[in-house]
């Protein structure tokens, strides 16, 4: 479902991603772990073309994201074509990014109506379904400020699900939450994993990665140091850099 090859990304002189290769199969969950600044967010942002690539390619379900091939070279797509491709990729940010002036229901309906061109009626039915799926059916008329951080993040997940994404990217979805609210968001993500949603999750929650990931990807200094099933990368790491990181965070 996701194939990344030779991905490089610079900000100024700093090379933040230094040749990343990663494949995530349909229905699989990859968890990105690594120190702060290792490039996890940038990697996710390159997948949905919020950041441009300097080299390499990203394909979602066989189609390039943000580019088209022309004469053996990649050319950037226009805004509307990018928006169409991006509509197939859900993104959940650390700080929820909900529209504060809109109710929960309006937040979730917005993209299906505006981007997918669903009728208001169909979008509302879809929104109600995904809001119920994150356990917040009783909050559809609330405004974000009336919800806890955990509830806001669950609505942000519902908003992404409303577009029926082929791939869901979650960028440290629990980092901005008080510790007692982390569990409710992880429970929603765990349910999605069990339901077969393809996901890439950047996370500092190592225990969670052990539980849900098919593949754990340890990123350090913009490169993948080690990747594989949790039983390998987390429980029997082959590389000293992985071991040192895990000793620091566990």
Ligand X SMILES: Nc1ncnc2c1ncn2[C@@H]1O[C@H](COP(=O)(O)OP(=O)(O)OP(=O)(O)O)[C@@H](O)[C@H]1O
CA distance 191 to 195: 6
| Site map 159..198 versus ligand X, x via CB under 6 A | -------------x--------------------------
For residue 199, with 0-12 CB atoms within 10 Å meaning exposed, 13-18 middle and 19 or more buried, which class applies?
Answer: buried
Which stretch in 34-42, 68-76, 153-161, 237-245 sits in contact with ligand X by CB under 6 A?
34-42
CB of 125 to ligand X, least distance (A): 36
**Token pair for residue 98?**
């909900």
Assess 224 for contact with ligand X (CB under 6 A).
no
In angstroms, what CA-CA distances link 210 with 45, 48, 91, 182, 190?
A: 24, 25, 22, 16, 11
Q: What angle do CA 180, 95, 64 make, to 5 degrees?
A: 125
Please tell me the count of residues contacting ligand X according to CB under 6 A: 11
Which stretch in 33-41, 62-70, 115-123, 154-162 sits in contact with ligand X by CB under 6 A?
33-41
Which stretch in 32-40, 106-114, 140-148, 182-190 sits in contact with ligand X by CB under 6 A?
32-40
The nearer residue to ligand X, 34 or 149, going by C-beta atoms, is 34
CB of 94 to ligand X, least distance (A): 7
Assess 112 for contact with ligand X (CB under 6 A).
no
């Amino acid at each position: 479902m996701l194939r990344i090859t030779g991905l490089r990304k610079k900000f100024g002189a700093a090379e933040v991603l230094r040749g990343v290769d990663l494949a995530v199969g349909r229905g699989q969950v990859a968890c990105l772990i690594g120190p702060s600044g290792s490039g996890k967010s940038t990697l996710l942002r390159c997948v949905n073309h919020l950041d441009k690539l300097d080299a390499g390619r990203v394909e979602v379900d066989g189609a390039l994201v943000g580019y088209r091939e022309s004469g053996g070279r990649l050319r950037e797509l226009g805004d509307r074509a990018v928006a169409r491709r991006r509509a197939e990729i859900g993104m959940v940010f650390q700080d929820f990014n909900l529209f504060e002036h809109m109710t929960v229901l309006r937040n979730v309906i917005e993209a299906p109506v505006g981007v997918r061109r669903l009728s208001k009626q169909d979008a509302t039915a879809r929104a109600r379904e995904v809001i119920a799926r994150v356990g917040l059916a009783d909050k559809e008329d609330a405004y974000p400020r009336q919800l806890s951080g955990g509830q806001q993040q669950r609505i942000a997940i519902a908003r992404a699900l409303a577009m029926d994404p082929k791939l869901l990217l979650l960028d440290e979805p629990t980092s901005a939450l008080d510790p007692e609210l982390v569990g409710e968001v992880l429970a929603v993500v765990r349910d999605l994993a069990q339901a077969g949603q393809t996901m890439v999750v950047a996370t500092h929650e190592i225990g969670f990665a052990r539980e849900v990931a098919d593949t754990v990807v340890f990123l350090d200094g913009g490169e993948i140091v080690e990747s594989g099933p949790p039983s390998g990368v987390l429980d029997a790491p082959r590389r000293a850099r992985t071991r040192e990181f895990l000793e620091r965070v566990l």
